[in-house]
């Protein structure tokens, strides 16, 4: 018999990691707004979704890496904000960029182009009409620099 998670995969047509990214995005937003502790936020978000163990592990890793490395992540993103201050970037865009940058640097089994495409899709769905192009430009620049560092 199909697991409940497989039913989720069929009904929405999205890869389960897409739903995991949306869950992490929601958890980051919840944390920013509520100032609750990370464990409670993570438990709450995992309780809302019927993820299998692999996706729970992925969500947990992505959420915690984003939180634990926030200072480095924000500094990295900020290098690419031309004539713009981090504090002026829309909150939802900040969270999408933080999550995707964490995935680029700390989640090894996701191709960078998938990370960027997923961030663009989440920006299109949850943020402003200009957000997807903005997110794409920043993440593409981070990815290119990261590639140069790894190759050089």
When divided into structural domains, the chain yields a total of 1
- Residue 26 or 148, more confident: 26
Of all residues in the chain, what percent carry a pLDDT higher than 70? 88
Checking if the pLDDT of 64 tops 80, the result is: yes
pLDDT recorded at residue 151: 57
| Structural domain range at position 52 | 4-151
pLDDT recorded at residue 149: 64
Q: What average pLDDT does range 92-112 have in this prediction?
A: 96
Mean predicted lDDT score pLDDT of the chain? 88
For position 18, which CATH number holds? 1.10.940.10
Q: What pTM, to 2 d.p., does this model score? A: 0.87
Is-contact 44 68, C-beta < 8 A?
Answer: no
DSSP the chain: ---HHHHHHHHH-S-HHHHHHHHHHHHHHHHHHH---HHHHHHHHHHHS---HHHHHHHHHHHHHHHHTHHHHHHHHHTT-TT--GGGS-HHHHHHHHHHHHHHHH-TTS-HHHHHHHHHHHHHHHS-TTHHHHHHHHHHHHHHHHHHHHH-
Checking if the pLDDT of 110 tops 80, the result is: yes
Checking if the pLDDT of 25 tops 70, the result is: yes
- The pair of three-digit structure tokens given for residue 55, joined into one six-digit string: 């996706």
């Amino acid at each position: 018999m199909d697991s409940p998670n497989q039913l989720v995969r069929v009904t929405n047509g999205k890869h389960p990691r897409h739903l995991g990214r949306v869950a992490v995005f929601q958890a980051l937003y919840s944390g920013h707004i509520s100032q609750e502790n990370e464990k409670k936020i993570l438990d709450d978000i995992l309780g809302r979704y019927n993820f299998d163990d692999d996706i729970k592990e992925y969500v947990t890793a992505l959420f915690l890496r984003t939180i634990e490395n926030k200072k480095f992540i924000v500094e990295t993103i900020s290098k690419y904000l031309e004539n713009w201050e981090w504090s002026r970037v829309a909150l939802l865009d900040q969270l999408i960029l933080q999550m995707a940058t964490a995935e680029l640097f700390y989640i090894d089994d996701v191709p960078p182009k998938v990370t960027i495409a997923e961030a663009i899709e989440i920006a299109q769905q949850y943020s402003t009409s200009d957000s997807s192009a903005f997110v794409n430009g920043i993440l593409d620049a981070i990815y290119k620099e990261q590639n140069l560092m790894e190759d050089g």
